[in-house]
Structure 1
Amino acid sequence: MTGTGGDVRGGPASSLSVGRLAEIACILEVSARKPGNVHPGASFRDLHHLDFLLSAGAIAGPLDEARHRGVGRSILAATEATRRVVRTNTNLGIILLLAPLAAVPAEVGLAEGIESVLAATTVEDARAAYRAIRLAMPGGLGRAAEQDVADEPTATLREVMSLAADRDLIARQYADGFREVLSEAAPMLSQAVRGGSPLEPAIVGTFLGLLARHEDTLIVRKAGRQVAAEASRKAGAVLEAGGVGTAAGRERLAELDAWLRAEGSLRNPGATADLVTAALFAALRDGTIPLPRDPGPAGWSGD
């Protein structure tokens, strides 16, 4: 799935298109045993590992065209492609994050190029993104005082996302130039891998690090800020106990996982997982982690 519009230069992933890298990032994220999320050993009533694998394949083609199609139309095309293979919202947040990242010119690093992509978004981009959001039907959105997704937008995509930046981690990336993805999560992930961590523990550690720092806004919307704050506290406790690399950390991780799943998907830290997917894409695209060749042992490091 390479082509002039999607080729990535430099780094171990240089032979793969941005769409293929997006697909790989999605597969890696959903296959890691992150607490409270879907993975091969855990699902929700209406969400299963296979749904995410099908969705990952669906968005590769549309994201390959992001540089030429534009951010809004790419968001809509990827959402439409997803709805053709699954019946539930598996990846709207992922698409909203990956479309602008995929639109950065191949010869430019993401940190250097994302600002110009975001600054160039238009009202038409916002209209297409609103259509995608309505198609995906995410839970817990409620009504916004300005530029609500049920209405037609009158501002650019970056502007309407910025209005939600204080209450939505995904929208915040449009406002702050993907700071949490490019300056926090991707470096966290890359540092762990360079330090010798297998990829799955690095992914889970990055997830825990983000959740400890930032309340998950999907949890806030569905269960309230107090529950989200408790999720962040518990994630920090896992890290303080040594993370997945120690027996004490893994014990805390199991406790966190059980607590997050205690009420079905109500406490699902899905926004944090979406940021991890974007960080995986960024690290693969910019060559700061290698393409996975060997999945490694089934257990955690230190088992």
Structure 2
Amino acid sequence: MVPLTQQTSIDACLAEQIRRACILEATARKPGNVHPEAAFADLTWHDFVLSAEAVAPVLARTRELGVGRATRDAVLATRQRVSTNTNLGIILLIAPLAAVPTSLRLVDGIGAVLAGLSLSDTEMVYEAIRLAQPGGLGKVPDQDIQDRPTQGLVNVMKLAAERDLIARQYVENFSLVLNFAVPYLASVPDFATRWEPALIGLQLELLSRHRDSLIRRKCGAVVADEASRRARQVLQTAADGLPFASAAIAEFDGWLRGDAHRRNPGTTADLIAASLFAAMREGVVPAPADWAGVQHKAQQAPLVEN
């Protein structure tokens, strides 16, 4: 058994990594997403900061609580701080990763965590999703979120994996996070000073390869495919070294923010937050050189939602 003082230290370390990952993801000025200089009508950067503060200590205890309960409790903690769904996808992604024993690498331990998920986990995750009230879920004939589940969590996620990138991570041992995104972040030269362009680059790389699930739910597959095509176009512009790469990013940002922000690539942002946590947990990226400034700005967030 891990001594209490040691376990407390582990939980505190995980909580800080989760908090930093969530805040940094929301702070990077990624096309289409909320950040300190771009809000939605019902959602601001401070909402994400408050949400990060709320969920970090809960998710850090996932190994003790179990994935299902930690997911539900993290959503409950978020709802006590903000009035809208800011982080359900982040919670669903980070909870299993945080459950991996810290003595193991994530890629070596995630399989056992997923294999151990039960019907009880499914029931609590369903409760969490209903509490969070994400947009655009619709109705499905088998294991619908409004019904009582009858299968374990991984089996339920298999039913949604074709249309939902977060569900697919449960089926594929978090391959997109651990085998693509984390190595991408680890390969960034001078991540400490270039973390923001690194996160923007990761967003474009993910979008160029995978339909964003939130865009697909809200706008359909055709629009989600167009978002991926535009991301590939921006990457090609940057690869060609053209002087208007910044203009291409700005144009993409404007397009994503059209249609009342319905084209917000929110699932991709969730994957980035989880990947950042995983990279920090594995020790493959350094702390941002300007973290003190980010932290100071985050501390200006209101203590309660207005």
TM-score by length of 2: 0.90
Counterparts of 2:254 and 2:119, CA distance in 1: 43
User: 1:140 matched to which residue of 2?
Assistant: 136
CA–CA separation in structure 1 for the residues paired with 2:291 and 2:54: 23
Residue 204 (structure 1) aligned with residue 175 (structure 2)? no
Correspondence 1:236 to 2:214: no
AA aligned to 1:98 is I
TM-score (norm 1): 0.91
Q: CA deviation at 1:7?
A: 4.7
What displacement does 1:233 show? 0.8
Q: CA deviation at 1:18?
A: 1.3
**1:28 corresponds to:** 24
Task: Find 2:118's aligned residue among 111, 122, 131.
Answer: 122
Cα shift at 1:20: 1.6
Tell me the secondary structure at the aligned position of residue 198 of structure 1: helix
**Aligned partner of 2:63 among 61, 67, 70:** 67
Kindly indicate which of the two structures has a greater share of residues assigned to helix: 2
For residues 294 and 82 of structure 1, the distance between their equivalents in structure 2, rounded to whole angstroms, comes to 26
The 3-state SS of whatever aligns with 2:244 is helix
Whether the 8 Å contact between 2:33 and 2:264 is mirrored in structure 1 is: yes
**Between 155-164 and 97-106, the greater mean CA deviation after superposition:** 155-164
* Aligned residue identity for 1:228: A
Q: Give the one of 259, 264, 268 matched to 1:268.
A: 264
Partner amino acid for 1:95?
A: I
Please say if 1:278 is aligned against 2:269: no
Alignment RMSD = 2.2
Q: Which runs of 5+ in 1 are unaligned?
A: 9-14, 299-303
Partner Cα distance (1:176, 1:87) in 2 = 32
Q: Is the 8 A contact 2:161 2:167 kept in 1?
A: yes
Which position in structure 2 is the counterpart of 1:89? 85
- Cα 1:196–1:70 shift into 2, 3 Å: closer
The answer on 1:256 being equivalent to 2:252 is: yes
Identify which of 108, 129, 138 aligns with 1:112. Answer: 108
Aligned pairs, how many? Answer: 291
Partner of 1:301: none
State the Cα deviation string for residues 195-242 of structure 1 (Å, max 9, x = none): 786110001101110000001011011001111111011111111111
Task: Tell me which amino acid in the other structure corresponds to 1:273.
Answer: A
Contact 2:90 2:273 in 1 (8 A): yes
- Which deviates more, 65-74 or 286-295? 286-295
Shift, 1:64, TM fit = 1.7
The CA deviation at 1:264 is: 1.7
- Cα distance change, pair 246–288 in 1 and its aligned pair in 2 (3 A): farther
1:150/1:3 Cα in 2 relative to 1: closer, same or farther (>3 Å)? farther
8 A contact 2:193–2:289 mirrored in 1: no
Check the 8 A contact 1:5/1:65 in 2, yes or no: no
Cα contact 1:6–1:19 (8 A) shared by 2: no
Q: Secondary structure of the equivalent of 1:192?
A: coil
Residue type at the aligned position of 2:238: G
- CA distance in 2 between counterparts of 1:68 and 1:109 reads 18
Structure 1 stretches of at least 4 aligned residues deviating more than 3 Å after TM superposition: 2-8, 193-197, 243-247, 295-298
